[in-house]
């Protein structure tokens, strides 16, 4: 596995992009893209992006199911792909133009789907774009469809990139990418959280779960390295502690070269600065926490540090299934920024908790959390303030409904890549908050 350095070279870029978003107006999105790829024994379609409906003509509302029909054949007269949940209410828009076919295979229904229904249909009368009923231009879309037990060959699709457009402006396009490379079943391979470092209950506490067998991980705590990405007031000398689910200390580290230097270097995950911390440990299935603190005591304003968890063997049956970080949520650059990497298409639930923490004796809990999810380009995948505002039924079905209505949840399909979840306070609120990432 390659070193992520600060997250990973590509995730470092993601953080820089997201920090820029925090301080400025975001640029235009690059339209909507659905990626079709073999993931383990299944073919998975994952869509994300935004759409500008300018230039299209609305023509009624319908119900659609996730499906694929790649051939504009003489006996059928149309080709299509729809990604999202079954029995979705959608609006039909005429005016798109693009390729007639993207393969020669038959009509195939998806085994399951989730998110926002989006689709494209090619016909002899013109191409049709399908979006959720009442969709407003510029709103973030994300969806997934799974074709269980299928391959690209059995679906009869041809790898390549296919683009439909209805104007020259931003987001006036629908892109289908059919990738020939096969991915293993998806795992979240790495998690990194940047937060303000204080003492006591205000210290950043990163939690994670090992399941399926023993797993070797590297846990790192960075501070000085963050200056490379333009972060000010960084933690000068991080100190890292690793605990098991019973609260027992498994290992601590101040400077990574003090212990395990050879082993850590062999993983390619040696911290860039000698004052930074790292722990290499093989862990049995269970819950674990890593606490980031300061070697030299604490001062105001709070210093910024980064705590990271790395899976050193992503091909093993054992996996890291859930990640969380509790810490002080400030404003501007002092919000909590959690990055993660998935090596394939999957669904994630991102939660932002605050009021619930008071039940566990946490004072000054964040009163009204807001959580936002960004992809590796810094484009917004989804955002949520109060979890019942949208996706309530799907969140409840996943068993991940927060205890408090003011807490925030995003359920989103994601393709392989780097993602960033930002936990902030509604209206600029501050306090102790918890950001969680679950792989479904």
Q: Six-digit token pair at 55?
A: 């230039």
Over its C-alpha atoms, the chain yields an Rg (Å, rounded) of: 23
- In 330-425, the DSSP E strands lie at 336-342, 346-353, 369-374, 380-384, 408-414, 417-425
Q: Six-digit token pair at 139?
A: 């709103």
Cα–Cα distance for residue pair 346/188, rounded to 1 Å: 9
Using alpha carbons, list the distances in angstroms from residue 109 to 49, 67, 80, 183, 431: 23, 4, 11, 22, 47
Q: What is the pLDDT of residue 394?
A: 81
Domain 9-24+186-439 has CATH 1.10.10.10: no
Q: What is the pLDDT of residue 196?
A: 84
Reply yes or no: is the peptide bond before residue 301 cis, omega within 30 of 0: yes
Cα–Cα distance for residue pair 253/220, rounded to 1 Å: 9
Q: What is the pLDDT of residue 300?
A: 58
Q: Over its length of 440 residues, how does the chain's per-residue pLDDT go in tens digits?
A: 233 333 343 444 444 444 444 433 333 447 999 999 887 788 989 888 999 999 999 999 999 999 999 998 755 578 999 999 999 999 999 999 999 999 999 999 999 888 899 999 999 888 999 999 999 999 988 888 989 999 999 999 999 999 999 999 999 999 999 988 766 566 787 888 888 887 766 778 889 999 888 889 999 999 999 988 888 888 999 999 999 999 999 999 999 999 999 999 999 999 999 999 999 999 999 999 999 988 876 655 778 899 999 988 766 667 887 888 888 898 888 899 998 988 777 888 999 999 999 988 888 899 999 999 998 888 888 899 999 998 888 888 888 999 999 999 998 888 888 999 999 999 999 999 999 998 87
Could you give the residue range(s) of every CATH 2.60.120.380 domain in the chain? 9-24+186-439
H helices, E strands: number in the chain: 4, 29
Q: Six-digit token pair at 203?
A: 């210290």
- Pairing relation of β-strands 32-39 and 173-183? parallel
Cα–Cα distance for residue pair 25/48, rounded to 1 Å: 20
Q: What is the pLDDT of residue 371?
A: 96
| Nearest Cα residue to 82 out of 161, 141, 150, 168 | 141
Using alpha carbons, list the distances in angstroms from residue 411 to 185, 362, 391, 426: 19, 26, 7, 19
pTM, to two decimals: 0.67
């Amino acid at each position: 596995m390659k070193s992520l350095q600060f997250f990973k070279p590509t995730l470092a870029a993601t953080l820089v992009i997201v920090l820029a978003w925090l301080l400025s107006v975001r640029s235009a999105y690059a339209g909507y893209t659905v990626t079709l790829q073999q993931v383990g024994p299944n073919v998975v379609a994952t869509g994300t992006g935004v759409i500008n409906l300018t230039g299209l003509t609305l023509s009624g509302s319908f119900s659609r199911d996730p499906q694929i029909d790649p051939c504009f054949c003489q006996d059928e007269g149309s080709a299509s792909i729809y990604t999202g949940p079954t029995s979705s209410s959608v609006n039909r828009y005429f005016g798109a133009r693009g390729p007639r076919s993207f393969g020669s295979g038959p009509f195939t229904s998806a085994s399951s789907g989730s998110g926002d229904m989006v689709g494209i249909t090619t016909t002899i009368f013109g191409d049709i774009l399908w979006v959720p009923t009442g969709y407003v231009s510029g709103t973030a879309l994300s969806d997934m469809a799974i074709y269980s037990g299928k391959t690209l060959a059995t679906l009869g699709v041809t790898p390549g990139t296919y683009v439909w457009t209805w104007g020259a402006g931003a987001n006036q396009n629908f892109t289908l990418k059919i990738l020939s490379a096969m991915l293993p079943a998806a795992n979240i391979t790495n998690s990194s959280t940047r937060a303000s470092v204080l003492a006591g209950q205000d210290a950043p506490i990163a939690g994670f779960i090992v399941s399926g067998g023993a797993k070797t991980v590297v846990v790192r705590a960075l501070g000085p390295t963050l200056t490379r990405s333009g972060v000010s007031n960084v933690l000068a000398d991080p100190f890292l502690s690793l605990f098991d689910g019973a609260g027992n200390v498994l290992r601590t580290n101040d400077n990574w070269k003090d212990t395990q230097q050879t082993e850590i270097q062999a993983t390619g995950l040696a911290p860039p600065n000698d004052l930074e911390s790292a722990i290499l440990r093989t862990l049995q299935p269970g819950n674990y926490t890593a606490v980031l603190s300061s070697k030299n005591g604490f001062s105001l304003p709070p210093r910024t540090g980064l705590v990271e968890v790395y899976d050193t063997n992503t091909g093993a049956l054992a996996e890291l299934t859930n990640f969380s970080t509790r810490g002080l949520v400030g404003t501007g650059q002092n919000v909590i920024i959690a990055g993660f990497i998935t090596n394939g298409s999957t669904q994630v639930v991102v939660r932002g908790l605050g009021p619930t923490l008071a039940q566990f004796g946490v004072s000054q809990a964040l009163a009204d959390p807001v959580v936002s999810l960004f992809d590796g380009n810094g484009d917004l995948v989804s955002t949520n303030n109060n979890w019942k505002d949208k996706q309530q039924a799907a969140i409840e079905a996943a068993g991940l409904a927060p205890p408090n209505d003011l807490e925030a949840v995003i359920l989103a399909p994601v393709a392989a890549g780097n993602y960033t979840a930002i936990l902030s306070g509604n209206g600029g609120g501050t306090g102790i908050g918890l950001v969680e990432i679950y792989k479904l």
